[in-house]
Each structure stands twice: as structure tokens, then as C-alpha cells.
Amino acid sequence: MTACRIGIVEDHTVVITGLRQILEAEPDLDIVAAAPTVAELLDLEIDVDMAILDLRLPDGSSPAANVTDLHAAGITKVLVFTSGEEPYLVRTAARAGVLGVINKAERDSVIIDAIRTTSRGEMVGSLDWAMAVDSDGEFTAAALSPRQREVLGLYASGESAARVASLTNLSTDTVNDYLGRIRQKYAEVGRPASTKTDLYRRALEDGWLPFPRRRRK
């Protein structure tokens, strides 16, 4: 029997150690690499058949970007291993094409089953949980127009209203009007965004603003 070669993307050594212990008695599942970021895992140049991916990594990379990078490297079997405290990250990973999402608090047998299912290239049943999060009214995306998304992305990333106006060839009054309408739309879906920090969070949650990423050397 050829074991599935697993790469772990996780920056907490205790989690990696725990996974190694869980899989120690599973001859068909072999952890061959571990790194704190996707970039560093790929830099190891070790052939892996599947990846176990944490959602919140030290380089600030987004789950969607990480899944895309893994897929581009030929690692299409990806299982998210999460504590589940940030549902919008789970949602973005699910949309990016992972095969499953499993909670770190699950029983060892459930985690093993999820890893084995992913290793076969099959969907893990718990992905239904991630889809349920996606449809939760609390996380309903605001219906923003392309122009509103542009204004939100610039303003939430740190630009002043005047600077946004300059970059978009709008007046400052028009930009402020857009921001007011954006706040109103978020309030209407139960996700108020009264401050600039709130708008930054909403832009991240809905994918209008990319996560900061560390460049690969």
C-alpha cells in the first residue's frame, strides 16, 4: 500500500505534533512535510499528495489565495483544519475549492476519517457545515455595485476620502455619499459598519479587499 504523502501548513508546533501522533498508527497516511505558510511548504520542494491547511497564518495570507497557490502547485486535495472562530475565513476557503473543513476540537477518529477522505480526493461531509455558515444571515454579503466595491476597497485599505476621490476621479462629496450608502447596505443585512475599522473588516469578509501577503523570495 502506498501511503498518502501529507503536507501540513500550520504555525503552531503543538498542532503539528498532535497530528503526527494521531496519524502515527495509520500506515496509509504519512506526514512528510510541515511549514508555517504555504510559500514555505512549497519552497521545501517535497512531493505531497494533499495538504492540511490552517486558516490564519503568520504571513497574513488569505485562505482563498493559499488554496489557489496549492492548486497551482498541483496539490488539489486540501483539507482545512480550523478552530472555527472566524466563520468568514471558513467561507472563503470553502469557496476556493477545498475538499473539506474539519474542526480541531473533533475526536481523533473524525479527524482521521476526514484526512483519509480528502486523500482519496473526495468531499468531506463536514463541508456542509461550512456551506451552512455561508448561508447564515449574519454573513450575507451586501449587494454592492462595482463602483461601491472600488470605493470601499480603497477607503478600507487606509486611504482618506479625499485620496479615494482623486484615485477614482470622483468628488469627495460623492465618495462620502458612496460610503454612506455602503454603510446603509451593510446595516440592512445585519452587519453594521459604523467605523472605518468595521468597513475594513467587512471588506475582508466579503472579499472586496485582499489579505496582505508576504512576497516569496
- 115 and 8 co-located in one domain: yes
Q: Is 213 left (phi over 0), alpha (psi -120 to 50) or beta?
A: beta
Segment 58-86 shows an average pLDDT of 88
Residue 63 inside a domain? The answer is yes
Q: What is the pLDDT of residues 76-97, one digit of tens each?
A: 999 999 886 666 777 777 778 8
- 108 and 150 co-located in one domain: no
Domains contained in the chain, number: 2
- 95 and 46 co-located in one domain: yes
Which of residues 88, 109, 137 is at a domain's end? 137
How far apart CA 204 and CA 172 sit, in angstroms, is 24
How far apart CA 104 and CA 82 sit, in angstroms, is 6
Q: Where in the sequence is the domain holding 146, given as residue range(s)?
A: 140-205
Residue 210 inside a domain? The answer is no
How far apart CA 40 and CA 199 sit, in angstroms, is 31
- State the helix-helix crossing angle for 196-205 and 146-156, rounded to 10 degrees: 120
* Percent of the chain at pLDDT exceeding 70: 84
**All 3 cell numbers of residue 107?**
475526536
Residue 191 inside a domain? The answer is yes
The H or E element spanning position 178 is: helix 172-188
Q: What is the pLDDT of residues 149-184, one digit of tens each?
A: 899 989 988 899 999 999 999 999 999 999 999 999
Segment 48-62 shows an average pLDDT of 90
pLDDT of 22: 95
Which of residues 137, 163, 197 is at a domain's end? 137
pLDDT of 130: 55
- 13 and 35 co-located in one domain: yes
Q: What is the CATH number of the domain that holds 34?
A: 3.40.50.2300
Q: What is the pLDDT of residues 93-143, one digit of tens each?
A: 777 888 888 888 889 999 999 999 999 998 887 655 555 455 554 556 678
pLDDT of 86: 67
